[in-house]
Structure 1
Amino acid sequence: MTQIFKLGALAAAAMIACAPATAAPQAAAPSKQAAANPQAAKALNVLADEYYDALARFDPVSSSESGDNRFIDQIGMSISPTERAKQFARYKAFQKRLRAIKRDGLNTRDQTSYDILDYELTTALRFEPFPEHLLPINQMDSLPVTLANYASGQGAQPLTTVKDYRAYASRLAQLGPWVDQAVANMREGIKRGIVHPKPVMTSALPQFKQLVAASTEASIYYTPVKNFPASFSDADKRALTKLYGDAVGGKLNPALARLATFLEKEYLPATRTSSGWNALPNGADWYLVRVASQTTTNLKPEEIHQIGLKEVARIQGEFGRIGPKMGYTGPAAGLPGWVAQQAKFKPFKTEQEVIEVYRKLDAQLRTKLPVMFNLKPKAPLDLRLEPELSRATASDHYTPPAVDGTRPGVFWSVVNDPRQYGSTGMVTLYLHEGAPGHHFHIALVQELGLPNFRRFGGNNAFTEGWALYAETLGKEMGLFDKPEDYFGHLNDEMLRAARLVVDTGLHTKGWSREQAIKYFSETLGYSEAESRAQIERYMVWPGQALGYKIGSLKIVELRRRAESALGAKFDIRKFHDIVLGEGTLPLSLLEAKVDRWIAASK
């Protein structure tokens, strides 16, 4: 998954965008097609820029995750009921203005922008009846943990200049009031029966206890003071030391202590025993909105459930063929469990040994990808280990580059215990999170000269669907020649297929947490702990895990359609140009675009 595409304050389909770090976003390069109605085009461009700016101001932390450093000293208060109401009012005003623009007066590219903007606003407004702000934290996603991970200076919060230091301190000073608002929201949630399941908050509690420091100097948020750049003057160091002391010791640490106490003494006793979103007030309808936003389709949960079961059966058939090549002779469904027990597939002793394998794979891919891609991002891709604080609950993920070049795209590898780190899935994981997966999509989109809301926005189905499709290219590039590497690919595909089953099972079919964990362990060969971490993710991010397989299946379907229609004329590089060349699209718009290309290519 990618950090930028984790669920935001509203879980709207429109993802927070970003802009150049040193200035407000500039208008995209003019379209090569002349507009039939220049006034309509101008109105659309103005509206799109205002929409983007409203998103970035509403959730500046998500914005800076994407590289927009204009609001790097702000955290926003998107969980405030008042701010939330104002944002929905903005969406309604934007939608009214959009509908007043004559779509027929726009050129093809602007019509696509119109359609995406219409889709995003419609989707965002569908969330208005559902009080997501009453669930502001969980074990996967919380602002205090996000800001704590910034303290190292390796993440989306730069810490190289005095100005950078002051910006982070400003955010820390604002985090205390945010925490108090979160506690107020959760108390309201308790009154209204809108609370998380007990197991996920039991998992989350140690994170928040760990954030409470015995002293100011012991706080993780105070880390920058211990790592001043040598270029800072003594006067700057004294001023910043006092600034951080006041922000952390005087405001933030007491607020975090209140939060930890509230979670343990008030919230945990009030959490629910049910596992699915349909147990919440209006939860069934709430889940439908989430499913639609995360898949960009009208598929119903039961349809998705059946797709998942069909894919699980297909992949188990592949297990039956690959198992004997690995020395396994049992039933196909037992292959993942057998692999998990084989010491030869856990060869590592240190974290650095894990990273070195990824670095060698990256070098190998640099020689193979030009055969399959014309479009490649200019931004570099770096490989890093996940910070220690978040390793226990994090998944391997990608964060995009900063548009001003100050931060590369980063593949973050989560290594809790290198001796238990399996080698079979490393190739497919890097294809997904690195190249040609998230990096070739997200970093490239920043460089295509699109309007800012498209340049830095997105949707889950395309983003994760592309990355899962990118995994399948490993077979064509000869990266799955070893049976264990091909198994790793199949097992990751099985993960995405099984997600369709358990996510819909949990939130529409009354599956218990334990039932879902058992299904995962039996289907994927995961340990109980691994299965539990996955299932608890789906319990707090309902629908998010559906986008991967639904998006990938659509891209595969479109490729097969193009191959069938074009025969010898089909060029894989041109197909990838079409899929990636205009940024992130809802799946219906992607399908229409590919169909137009097929017709023109004939």
Structure 2
Amino acid sequence: MKHRYALGTLAASLLFAYAPLTQAAAAVPGAPVKTSAPQAQRQLAQLADQYYDAQARFEPINATESGDNRFDDQLGSAIVPAARIKHFAQYRQFQKRLHAIKRAQLSQHDQINYDILDYELASALSFERFPEYLLPLNQMDSMPVTLANYAGGEASQPLTTVKQYNAYLSRLDQLPGWIDQAIANMRVGMQKGVVLPKALIESALPQFKKLVSATAQDSVYYTPVKNLPAGFSDADKQQLTQAYTAVIQDKLMPALQRLATFMENDYLPAGRTSSGWSALPDGAAWYQARVAASTTTDMTPEQIHAIGLKEVARIQEQYAIVGPKMGYTGPAAGLPVWVSQQEKYRPFKTEQEVLDVYRKLNVLLDSKLPALFTLVPKAPLDLRLEPELSRDTAADHYTAPAADGSRPGVFWSVVTDPKLYGDTGMTTLFLHEGKPGHHFHLALVQEMDLPNFRRFGGNNAFTEGWALYAETLGKEMGLFDDPAQYFGHLNDEMLRAVRLVVDTGLHTKGWTREQTIKYMRDTLGYDAVAKSETERYMAWPGQALGYKIGSLKIVELRQRAQAALGDKFSLPKFHEVVLSDGTLPLKLLEAKVDRWIAAQK
């Protein structure tokens, strides 16, 4: 699943040093229902809405990415220093108002909302001391590239009505101001030693150069004009064409040229030679805040590094077992390369053949999942090929259904060349991106009565942790009896385990970019992603840790429940406990499962 990593505001961290989280009241299925006192409920609902809207206005791109299109005409002020100070002051006010609400007067459902809001506010405030705004862009994430990706109308910002065309145009009109602010911030960063590594600037620079065009008509931002819907009136078409041309030609192109020139002539020479966050001022604490945000735990980077090494060793032992079953007799670490060289694991000639395998798998899962799940979303799951326009840059992903039921959940499969499409990873990919992974979690969230900050928010550790846990259920359902599919599962798991090692290695152990790339190549056995993944972790410290940490926590809670309950343990019921309150920080999830175990006893 694609997730923007919001710099600080949507990050969920802080180290659980306050009471509500340790006694958190995630509802346990079957427990008696208590109603909220009207005044406390009203205060909480109002505060939750104001908190979410403040966030969405501060970083409207995040709202757009999450399916909230109310702010599609705004870019927000997240990188403006004065606005940032004001925003954090607002967070403190929200926190004060929240703590004035009597939590004991709330129902269990509302207590969950209270606890998550308390958690998110403390989390956001934990980033106040770190100058995230001095690093406003990188090769993974920048406003000019995000808006360029929206231009085709296939992404999160819809482009089908005149109003939507004007909203996107409004964003383009604000982009030059954003660019000038970003340059000003980076100049301050150069003085303070808060700059990107040279390697990342080199990776980002071609993107920004590519966005500069000789004429408005050659610009990627002009794409909406080339795709004007036939149903628009001639007057609207003429007005939009003129407006887009003027904004792109007179304002946007000069600003993009300023950015490319600055990046090449000023910023690149000032780039740092170090790779990790610990090289920045206050970098160790900054990285720890990022780790807490991504994992929703108080684990240290050292603990996570050790878990990663242990998981890598465990998966390599499994390689040694599955390799011979596939006809491979070499060293365990060489299995992935060998598989990639076998023609028999690339059986496809057409895109349709790839899609047919996923459709068949979908039908098979419909017969197997009822034994594992009683709580399932009402929304159907559709299987589609990624549109050609974004195929070269996209990864397989899932989009949640529309809350009003007008659009199903969709698993988007990226097939650039069917003849090169390997089939060993298809089962595990579908379990993750389709069902019971993202679809069983995110489609259910859409059907729940949740405040906006929870419907459109969430955290990586639960979201990706659940999807990664869902992959392991393939074994339970007999889907990995085929050694090739089991290898595909292990291969995906290995990447997630390696991330724990290299992310913490880079940012706390002084690993260099080159050392990290080598470790990834040696351990994964293939180098297709080693450079791009390493640079992703350099740009987004901690972001990739949530997947494996979340998955391991769910596995641990399941084992705890099985050991405690014995014959009384029900796997469908356990899954209901995990999913029935939407996305939770892991500490809240753990408290909820523990209470369920106690209630069953």
**Normalised TM-score (structure 1):** 0.92
How many Å separate the matches in 2 of 1:273 and 1:419? 40
SS of corresponding position for 1:229 = coil
Output aligned runs, 1:59-458, within 5 Å: 59-348=59-348, 353-384=353-384, 394-405=394-405, 408-415=408-415, 418-458=418-458
Give the match's secondary structure for 1:411: strand
How far is 1:382 from its partner? 4.3
Match of residue 467 from structure 2: 467
Q: Offset at 1:376?
A: 2.6
Of 544-553 and 568-577, more deviation after overlay is shown by: 568-577
1:538 and 2:537 correspond:
yes
Q: CA deviation at 1:66?
A: 1.3
Report if the CA contact (8 A) 2:197-2:274 is conserved: yes
The 8 Å contact of residues 14 and 457 in structure 1, kept in 2 or not, is answered as: no
Q: Which residue of 1 aligns with 2:595?
A: 596
- Conserved 8 A contact 1:393-1:533: no
- Structure 1 window deviating more from structure 2 (431-440 vs 48-57): it is 431-440
Within 2, Cα distance between the matches of 1:317 and 1:461?
A: 26
Q: Aligned match of 1:7 in 5, 8, 14?
A: 5
**Cα–Cα, structure 1 residues 417 and 595, in superposed 2: closer, same or farther, change >3 Å?**
same
State the AA in 1 paired with 2:232. F
CA distance in 1, matches of 2:212, 2:348: 33
Kept in 1: contact 2:384–2:411 (CA 8 A)? yes
* Structure 1 residues 403 and 588, CA gap change in structure 2 (3 angstroms): same
C-alpha distance in structure 2 between counterparts of 1:405 and 1:213, whole Å: 41
Deviation at 1:106, TM superposition (A): 2.1
CA distance in 1, matches of 2:82, 2:389: 32
| Aligned-partner SS, 2:411 | strand
- CA 1:257/1:422 → structure 2, altered by over 3 Å: closer, same or farther? farther
Residue segments in structure 1 that go unaligned for 5+ positions in a row: 16-30
* Closer/same/farther in 2, CA of residues 270 and 495 from structure 1, 3 Å limit: same
Deviates more, 1:402-411 or 1:295-304: 402-411
8 Å contact kept, 1:74–1:171? yes
1:591 maps to amino acid = E
Corresponding residue number in structure 2 for 1:25: none
Amino acid at match of 2:64: S
DSSP-derived class of the 2:584 partner: coil
Could you say what the CA RMSD is over the residues aligned between the two structures, in angstroms?
2.3
Give, in whole Å, the separation in 2 of the partners of 1:397 and 1:68.
19
The 1:389/1:263 distance shift into structure 2, 3 A limit, reads farther
1:556 equivalent in alignment to 2:549: no
Structure 1, 104-113 or 537-546: larger mean CA deviation: 104-113
Aligned position for 2:583: 584
* Residues 34-73 of structure 1 aligned to structure 2 (within 5 Å): 34-35=34-35, 37-73=37-73
Contact kept, 8 Å, 2:68 with 2:456, in 1: the verdict is no
How many Å apart are 1:582 and its aligned residue?
A: 0.3
Structure 2 CA distance for partners of 1:62 and 1:43, relative to 1, 3 Å: same
Question: Offset at 1:563?
Answer: 2.0
Distance apart, 1:360 and its partner CA: 3.9
Structure 1, 483-492 or 423-432: larger mean CA deviation: 423-432
Superposed displacement of residue 486, structure 1: 0.6
User: What are the Cα deviations for residues 540-596 of structure 1, in whole angstroms up to 9, with x where unaligned?
Assistant: 111111111111011011111222223333222221111111011111110111111
SS in structure 2 opposite 1:217? helix
In the alignment, the residues of structure 1 paired with residue 393 and residue 506 of structure 2 have an alpha-carbon distance, to the nearest angstrom, of 20
Measure the CA separation in 2 of the matches of 1:401 and 1:445. Answer: 10
Deviation digits for residues 293-345 of structure 1 (CA, Å, limit 9, x no counterpart)? 11111111111111111111111111111010111112222212322332333
Name the count of aligned residue pairs: 584
Using the alignment, how far apart are the partners of 2:114 and 2:355 within structure 1?
43
The alpha-carbon deviation at position 349 of structure 1 amounts to: 5.3
Q: Which sits farther off after the overlay, 159-168 or 408-417? A: 408-417
Q: Equivalents in 1 of 2:406, 2:250: separation in Å? A: 32
For 1:506-532, what per-residue CA distance to the aligned partner results, in whole angstroms no more than 9, with x for missing partners? Answer: 1000111111111111111122x4211
Structure 1 range deviating more: 375-384 or 62-71: 375-384
More off after superposition, 206-215 vs 91-100? 206-215
| Aligned mates of 1:497, 1:567 — CA distance in 2 | 30
Per-residue displacement from partner, 1:45-89 (whole Å, max 9, x unpaired)?
Answer: 221111111111111111021111111211212111122111111
Q: Residues 44 and 222 from structure 1, CA distance in 2 versus in 1: closer, same or farther, beyond 3 angstroms?
A: same
One-letter amino acid matched to 1:464: E
Q: Any idea what the Cα deviations from partners look like across 1:364-399, whole Å, max 9, x if unmatched? A: 434433332233333444445556776666543333
SS at match of 1:94: helix
Separation of aligned partners in 2, 1:134 and 1:402: 36
- Which deviates more, 445-454 or 498-507? 445-454
1:303 maps to a residue whose letter is Q
Distance 1:261 1:413 in 2: 37
Query: Is the alpha carbon distance of 1:186 and 1:388 closer, same or farther for their aligned partners in structure 2, counting shifts above 3 Å?
Result: farther
The residue type paired with residue 198 of structure 1 is: K
Contact preservation (8 Å) 2:12, 2:294: no
Cα gap change, 1:398/1:176 in structure 2, threshold over 3 Å: closer, same or farther? farther
Q: Which amino acid aligns with 2:572?
A: R
The letter for the 2-side match of 1:10 is G
Partner AA of 2:494 in structure 1: M
Partner of 2:154: helix, strand, or coil? coil
Cα contact 2:10–2:457 (8 A) shared by 1:
no
Instruction: Work out the CA distance in 1 between the residues paired with 2:36 and 2:228.
Output: 56
Between 1:541-550 and 1:165-174, the stretch displaced more is: 165-174
Looking at structure 2, the residues matched to 214 and 437 of structure 1 have their Cα atoms a distance apart, in angstroms, of: 45
* Secondary structure in structure 2 of the residue aligned to 1:159: coil
Q: Is the 8 A contact 2:305 2:501 kept in 1?
A: yes
Specify the code of the residue in structure 2 equivalent to 1:574. K
The structural deviation recorded for 1:409 is 3.7
Q: Distance in 1 between matches of 2:406 and 2:201?
A: 36
Taking the aligned partners of 1:191 and 1:14, their CA distance within structure 2 comes to 29
Residue 297 of structure 2 aligns to a residue whose secondary structure is coil
Contact 2:402 2:446 in 1 (8 A): no
Query: How far off its partner does 1:433 sit?
Result: 1.9
Maintained 8 Å contact 1:35/1:41: no
Structure 2 distance, partners of 1:232, 1:39, is 48
CA contact (8 A) 2:383 2:410 kept: yes
Amino acid at match of 1:550: I
**2:6 alignment partner AA:** G
Tell me what 2:573 maps to: 574
Partners of 2:477 and 2:578 in 1: how far apart? 19
Q: 2:19 maps to what in 1?
A: none
Alignment partners' CA distance in 1, 2:521 and 2:6: 29
Contact 1:446 1:456 in 2 (8 A): no
C-alpha distance in 2 between matches for 1:326 and 1:62: 44
Q: Return closer, same or farther for 1:548/1:247 CA change in 2, 3 Å cut-off.
A: same
Contact conserved, 2:577 with 2:593, CA < 8 A, in 1? yes
Partners of 1:420 and 1:186 lie apart in 2 by: 42
Q: Which runs of 5+ in 2 are unaligned?
A: 14-30
How far, CA to CA, are the matches of 1:126 and 1:393 in structure 2?
A: 33
Q: 1:481 to 1:332 in 2, by over 3 A?
A: same
User: Aligned equivalents of 2:189 and 2:446: distance in 1?
Assistant: 38
Does structure 1 conserve the Cα–Cα contact (< 8 Å) formed by 2:425 and 2:492? yes
